Amino acid sequence: MSKAVVAPARKYKRKSRFKEIWRRMKKNKLSMVGLCVFALFVAMIIFADLIVPYRIALEQNVWEQFAPPSVEHLLGMDQYGRDIFARVIHGSRNSLLMGIAAVFVGMIIGGTLASLAGYYGGKVDMVIMRISDTIFCIPFMLMGLSIVAALGPGLINVLIAITITAIPNYVRIIRSAILTIVGNDFIEAGRACGASDIFIILKHVAPNAVGPIIVQATMQVGTMIIFSTAFSYLGLGIQPPAPEWGAMLAEGKSYMLSAPHMIIAPGMSIVLVALSLNLLGDGLRDALDPKLKD
Amino acid sequence: MSRYILKRILICIPTLVAITFIIFTIMSYTPGDVTRMILGQEATPEAMKELAHQMGLDKPFFVRYANYMVHLLQGDMGVSYRSGQSVFLEIIHRFPITLKLAFGSMCIAIAVGLLLGILAAVKQYSILDFFGTALAMLLASVPYFWLGLMMILLFSLKLGLLPSMGSNTWVHFILPSITVCVGSTAAILRLTRTTMLETIRQDYIRTARAKGQTEGKIIFKHALKNALLPVITVIGIEFGSLLGGAVVVESVFSLNGVGSLLLQAIRLKDTPQVTGCAVFLAFFFMMIMLAVDILYAYIDPRIKARYQNS
Amino acid sequence: MLEKLLEIKDLSVVYHTDEAHVYAVNAINLEIGARETIGLVGETGAGKTTTALAILRLLPEKTGHITQGEILFKGEDLLKKSKREMRGIRGAHISMIFQDPMTSLNPTITVGDQIYESLLIHNYEGKPRDELYKRVDELLELVGIPARRRKDYPHQFSGGMKQRVVISIALACQPQLLIADEPTTALDVTIQAQVLAMMYDLKEKLQTSMIMITHDLGVVAQTCDKVAIMYAGEIIEFGLAEDIFESDQHHPYTTGLFGSIPDLDIEADRLNPIEGLMPDPTALPCGCKFHPRCKLCMEICKTTLPPQWHEGDHMISCHLYSREK
């Protein structure tokens, strides 16, 4: 007690931004669960053939139609005696990749349009925003259905439909993310210091705008999976016999009283993927912007 | 105020024109020969040409669009290729079912979303908050058509409590409404919680406390009105996703609404029917957005004032 | 001798957050007599606002905790009151004017209704509506706003006008104690003097006691009878306005405060700011809290809490003076 105790200056360790975000993410148990579950699904896509060969998903065993879950067939059999476990595993390729592809392509196109709008401003901005606002006025499912109606059913057509339909939303999200950053004082400060536009964009705008965009993208993948499976459920997506979660639900609908396992497994898969992505996105948002938490 | 409403309605007109244009353009890319579809495989080329001329299909795109718009303004959406009946009448005939479904689910979404959202915010970090947040997360992740199937399985087939198809009484709408509303409930719940949390940290809430106001009045009189503003906008937007959801859910519950009409038309490549349904539902959604905007201005004095004085 | 209206005894407030405990107010004592105005002066973060919020028991429920002490209002301990009783006191007996008038008014309620609300809450005699609204008009006129603007919304008022509305809300029920938390900081300099003068007049007219929280010594000189200087959650000097502004004996921090004000009579090249920053309230220094910044720091200051030196009403909490004795 005899020594002078000066208030310790807070130590600001210069951790990398990524490490800091990761540290905060790890604190959020639920989002880590989400990350793990999603990682499992991704592993499932990659190693699907190692888990169950694709032919099992198509092989029909007449003797085992509607067989309930058992040791040999973990999730039971469907109306043609096909192994539902194998179909769920291989269905993930169609359903999950659809969601990821739709968001990825949509974000790239939307991001380009939003950057053009944000960079050039004025008339370009107005035209892009007017068009995307108008498309935004058409309910999502309706717009998607119209495009599928025009293009005809099929996996790729559904992908095109939901991607185009989602673009206005992404343009909005990304443009507002850019604008909030550009309107900030530290950008002005950068300009005042004589930094070039490119430097400001790379050093300040991009890293700060990327956070909210990644969060949105993560959650959007879940939403897009639900939408794409809805199209398959309506019979407008991938055509049989290829396995797909939504299509499996449509097939199982007629037999759901006698063979509920036919709709439970694919449905739960969609819920699990979407939930894991939502948890992950939520955790990411909190980690990226801790002040939003309370 | 009426000036604002008028202005807002005027803004609607170009949007409506643009919406029809987009849908009409998309639908005009429908592959396949319409005349062959109507006349069948054995039709002679002359007969097909004759029909195409009759239907105006040989005219340039913009002329066809202009024609469509002129007819549309008179409430004429063309004739179904399949049934040969007026598209508009068919839609109007089926619309009440979709309307009931959409409004029913909107009511549930608003009631549950607002209530749980407010409670979760007021009792932040409590069990209730955790429950509300978890529920929102779960509801946002459930594909509604699957939820519909599961509810049919449980409440109709196993328990026999509620009907799974038909639209005769309001009881028939219980399961479909719950099915459609999940996504919107989640969205409203989350947003209500967030804006409410922001609002109760505002200085004017502290001012109200310093006056000696009770917590209940502070929440419902001071905080809610302010917190509602962003929520109202989202409720409007969510109405769109409800309409979209209704299209799918109508097929799950075998309801004969505009949605199932649209799906049927898509399967049969009945272009006028598809265009008609899409345009009609989009128009309806625009009307809802208009109503929401007017309501917004009514609640927020800052917007009202902007138009009163000008 | 004026009767004591409010006595704060040994009050400590700690904020518990996830990361740390913030010691915002540390065992302060303060007395306010009827019709007195006391200035509470200090830098941002010195615990002035926390003290005010503690009096009204408006500290954030989850994080702010009063760890010890008593707050006696007319002899009764406010800390022992139920929530219901506290609501009866807030607004009616003790009112508060907040710092930022731009955000202190509810944007969706007319200003008239916001004043009316204050009257309605404490309308124990059951006065009819018309009478209360008449009083709203009176209050608006009192703070210099035409009564016809009663139905306007806050966004239609300027900052100074909004602060007048806030003041009329606070004075609506004629409280015995008014706490003004930096009432003029957010206003334009030209408006500041107006609002301040008006507040002072009203306070005299209504015979209200006032705690004037500020970091502006000029405001204190204009309005206050007594002054308490706060530093790092402690009152380090207290005295009559004359003691603070005219006496030669001061806490080194107070001397520093005066040194940082430009003086028109003395020609100086630069201001004399106090070196350093306020200590981190999560880890306060031992001994005198001011010692790391003090130019007159002694060994004893670093280890031992300074004793209080009294001369009449003047109190200084510093080792310098105890040594002289």
Provide the ipTM: 0.85
Q: Evaluate whether residue A55 is within a structural domain.
A: yes
pLDDT tens digits for C98-113? Answer: 888 888 999 889 999 9
Q: Evaluate whether residue B49 is within a structural domain.
A: no
Q: A7, C292: Cβ pair inside 8 Å? A: yes
B6: number of Cβ within 10 Å = 11
Q: How far is Cα A170 from Cα C55, in angstroms, rounded to an integer?
A: 50
Residue range C66-94: mean pLDDT, rounded: 91
Alpha carbon of C282: minimum distance to chain A alpha carbons (Å):
9
Q: C284, A10: Cβ pair inside 8 Å? A: no
- C residues 122-161 lying closer than 8 A (beta carbon) to B: 122, 153, 155-156
| pLDDT score, position A294 | 40
Contact status, residue B207 vs residue C170, Cβ threshold 8 Å: no
Residue range B212-237: mean pLDDT, rounded: 89
Q: Chains that contact C by 3+ CB pairs under 8 Å? A: A, B
User: CB under 8 Å to C30, separation ≥6 — which residues?
Assistant: C6, C7, C8, C38, C51, C228, C235, C238
Of B254, B245, B100, B242, which Cα lies nearest the Cα of B174? B100
Q: Evaluate whether residue A269 is within a structural domain.
A: yes
Q: Is A154 on the interface with B (CB under 8 A)?
A: no
Annotated domain spans of chain C: 4-93+175-264+271-324
> Looking at residue B79, what DSSP letter applies?
B
Of C152, C158, C156, C159, which Cα lies nearest the Cα of C109? C152
Of C124, C60, C66, C57, which Cα lies nearest the Cα of C96? C57
Q: Is B42 on the interface with C (CB under 8 A)?
A: no
Q: Evaluate whether residue B71 is within a structural domain.
A: no
**Residue B149: domain span:** 87-309
| pLDDT score, position B310 | 46
Q: Which residue has the tokens 């990682």?
A: A39
Query: Where does the pLDDT of residue A15 fall: very low under 50, low under 70, confident under 90, or very high at 90 and above?
Result: low
Say what the pTM is: 0.85
Contact status, residue C11 vs residue C27, Cβ threshold 8 Å: yes
Angle CA A239–A169–B7, to nearest 5: 125
C144: left (phi over 0), alpha (psi -120 to 50) or beta: left
Q: How far is Cα B244 from Cα B282, in angstroms, rounded to an integer?
A: 10
pLDDT of residue A87 exceeding 80, the answer is: yes
Q: Evaluate whether residue A266 is within a structural domain.
A: yes
Q: Is A270 on the interface with B (CB under 8 A)?
A: yes
The mean pLDDT of chain A is 82
Contact status, residue A115 vs residue B254, Cβ threshold 8 Å: no
Q: How far is Cα A23 from Cα A234, in angstroms, rounded to an integer?
A: 43
pLDDT tens digits for B69-104? Answer: 888 888 888 888 878 888 999 999 999 999 999 999
Q: How far is CA B111 from CA B132, B186, B288, in A?
A: 13, 12, 18
Residue of C nearest to A7 (CA): C285
Query: Where does the pLDDT of residue B19 fall: very low under 50, low under 70, confident under 90, or very high at 90 and above?
Result: confident
Query: Where does the pLDDT of residue C165 fall: very low under 50, low under 70, confident under 90, or very high at 90 and above?
Result: very high
| pLDDT score, position C270 | 67
Q: Which residue has the tokens 């779960």?
A: B138
Residues in chain A closer than 8 A to B243 (CB atoms): 139, 141-142
| pLDDT score, position C124 | 87
Contact status, residue A95 vs residue A86, Cβ threshold 8 Å: no
| pLDDT score, position B307 | 62
Contact status, residue B180 vs residue A230, Cβ threshold 8 Å: no
pLDDT tens digits for A192-208? Answer: 787 777 777 777 777 77
pLDDT of residue A6 exceeding 60, the answer is: no
Query: What SS3 class is residue C210?
Result: strand
| pLDDT score, position C192 | 86
- C residues 229-288 lying closer than 8 A (beta carbon) to A: 279-280, 283-286
| pLDDT score, position C267 | 65
Query: Where does the pLDDT of residue B309 fall: very low under 50, low under 70, confident under 90, or very high at 90 and above?
Result: low
Q: How far is Cα B67 from Cα B61, in angstroms, rounded to an integer?
A: 10
Query: Where does the pLDDT of residue C245 fall: very low under 50, low under 70, confident under 90, or very high at 90 and above?
Result: confident
Q: How far is Cα C289 from Cα C232, in angstroms, rounded to an integer?
A: 7
pLDDT of residue A35 exceeding 90, the answer is: yes
Q: Is A11 on the interface with C (CB under 8 A)?
A: no
User: CB under 8 Å to A123, separation ≥6 — which residues?
Assistant: none
Residue in A139, A236, A264 closest to B243 by CB: A139
pLDDT of residue C1 exceeding 70, the answer is: no
What residues pair up with C314 in beta bridges, in sequence order? C311
Q: C108, B206: Cβ pair inside 8 Å? A: no
pLDDT tens digits for B143-156? Answer: 989 999 999 988 88
Residues in chain A closer than 8 A to C292 (CB atoms): 6-7
User: CB under 8 Å to C303, separation ≥6 — which residues?
Assistant: A1, A2, A4, C286, C287
Residue in C280, C284, C286 closest to A1 by CB: C286
Best mutation target among A30, A146, A249 (most B Cβ atoms within 10 Å) is A146
Q: B300, C108: Cβ pair inside 8 Å? A: yes
Q: Which residue has the tokens 């992950």?
A: A280
Residue of C nearest to B300 (CA): C108
Residue of C nearest to B203 (CA): C104
Higher local confidence (pLDDT), A196 or B256: B256
| pLDDT score, position A1 | 35
Alpha carbon of A24: minimum distance to chain C alpha carbons (Å):
13
C63: left (phi over 0), alpha (psi -120 to 50) or beta: alpha
C117 alpha-carbon distance from chain centroid: 24
C207: number of Cβ within 10 Å = 10
Q: Evaluate whether residue A73 is within a structural domain.
A: yes
Q: C285, A7: Cβ pair inside 8 Å? A: yes
Q: How far is Cα A103 from Cα A88, in angstroms, rounded to an integer?
A: 22
Of A27, A20, A89, A34, which Cα lies nearest the Cα of A58? A89
Q: Is C92 on the interface with B (CB under 8 A)?
A: yes
Residue range A60-64: mean pLDDT, rounded: 78
| pLDDT score, position A179 | 79
Q: Evaluate whether residue A4 is within a structural domain.
A: no
Kindly report whether the peptide bond that precedes residue C279 is cis, defined as omega within 30 degrees of 0: no
Q: For the domain that residue B158 is a member of, what is the CATH number?
A: 1.10.3720.10
Q: Is A147 on the interface with B (CB under 8 A)?
A: yes
Q: A8, C280: Cβ pair inside 8 Å? A: yes
What is the side-by-side order of every strand in the sheet holding C94-97?
Answer: C94-97, C177-181, C209-214, C37-41, C226-231, C234-240, C314-317, C308-311
**The total number of structural domains that make up chain B:** 1
What residues pair up with C240 in beta bridges, in sequence order? C226
**Which of A4-18, B259-273, C250-264, C272-286 has the weakest average pLDDT?**
A4-18
Q: Evaluate whether residue A132 is within a structural domain.
A: yes
Contact status, residue A291 vs residue A243, Cβ threshold 8 Å: no
Q: How far is Cα B140 from Cα B186, in angstroms, rounded to an integer?
A: 6
Angle between helices A155-182 and A140-151 (to 10 degrees): 140
Q: Evaluate whether residue B78 is within a structural domain.
A: no
Backbone angles phi, psi at C27, to 5 degrees: 45, 60
Q: Evaluate whether residue B72 is within a structural domain.
A: no
Alpha carbon of B143: minimum distance to chain A alpha carbons (Å):
5
Q: How far is Cα C189 from Cα C201, in angstroms, rounded to an integer?
A: 19
Q: B244, A137: Cβ pair inside 8 Å? A: no
Contact status, residue C271 vs residue C289, Cβ threshold 8 Å: no
Residues of chain C with pLDDT > 70: what percent? 95
Q: C89, B212: Cβ pair inside 8 Å? A: yes
Query: Where does the pLDDT of residue C305 fall: very low under 50, low under 70, confident under 90, or very high at 90 and above?
Result: confident
CA torsion angle for A26, A27, A30, A34 (degrees, to 10)? -10
B125: number of Cβ within 10 Å = 10
**Residue A33: domain span:** 24-292
Residue of C nearest to A1 (CA): C303
> Looking at residue B264, what DSSP letter applies?
H
Residue of A nearest to B24 (CA): A146
Residues in chain C closer than 8 A to A4 (CB atoms): 285-286, 291, 302-303
**Which of A50-64, C173-187, C218-232 has the weakest average pLDDT?**
A50-64
pLDDT tens digits for A159-183? Answer: 999 999 999 989 988 888 887 777 7
Q: A5, C285: Cβ pair inside 8 Å? A: yes
- B138 CB-contact burial (10 Å; exposed 0-12 / middle 13-18 / buried 19+): middle
Structural Rg of chain B based on CA atoms = 24
Q: For the domain that residue A212 is a member of, what is the CATH number?
A: 1.10.3720.10
| pLDDT score, position A261 | 86
Residue range B198-221: mean pLDDT, rounded: 90
Q: Is A38 on the interface with B (CB under 8 A)?
A: no
Q: A271, B143: Cβ pair inside 8 Å? A: yes
Structure tokens at C163: 């602060």
Residue range C231-245: mean pLDDT, rounded: 89
B134: number of Cβ within 10 Å = 12
- B274 CB-contact burial (10 Å; exposed 0-12 / middle 13-18 / buried 19+): buried
Q: B143, A260: Cβ pair inside 8 Å? A: no
CATH number for the segment(s) C4-93+175-264+271-324: 3.40.50.300
Task: Kindly report the length of chain B.
Answer: 310
Q: Is A148 on the interface with B (CB under 8 A)?
A: yes
pLDDT tens digits for A237-283? Answer: 888 788 889 989 988 888 888 888 888 989 999 999 999 999 999 88
Residues in chain B closer than 8 A to A294 (CB atoms): 124, 197
Best mutation target among A31, A137, A228, A249 (most B Cβ atoms within 10 Å) is A137
Q: Chains that contact B by 3+ CB pairs under 8 Å? A: A, C
Residues in chain C closer than 8 A to B299 (CB atoms): 108
pLDDT of residue B183 exceeding 70, the answer is: yes
Alpha carbon of A8: minimum distance to chain C alpha carbons (Å):
7
Indicate if the alpha-carbon torsion angle B278, B280, B286, B288 is positive or negative. negative
The percent of chain A in helix, strand and coil, each rounded to the nearest 5, is: 75, 0, 25
Residue in B125, B212, B302 closest to C91 by CB: B212
Residues of chain A with pLDDT > 90: what percent? 24
The mean pLDDT of chain B is 86
Query: Where does the pLDDT of residue C258 fall: very low under 50, low under 70, confident under 90, or very high at 90 and above?
Result: confident
Q: Evaluate whether residue A210 is within a structural domain.
A: yes
pLDDT of residue C95 exceeding 70, the answer is: yes
Contact status, residue C115 vs residue C172, Cβ threshold 8 Å: yes
- B84 CB-contact burial (10 Å; exposed 0-12 / middle 13-18 / buried 19+): exposed
pLDDT of residue B184 exceeding 90, the answer is: yes
Structure tokens at B4: 């604002």
Residue range C115-129: mean pLDDT, rounded: 90
Structure tokens at C145: 């706003």
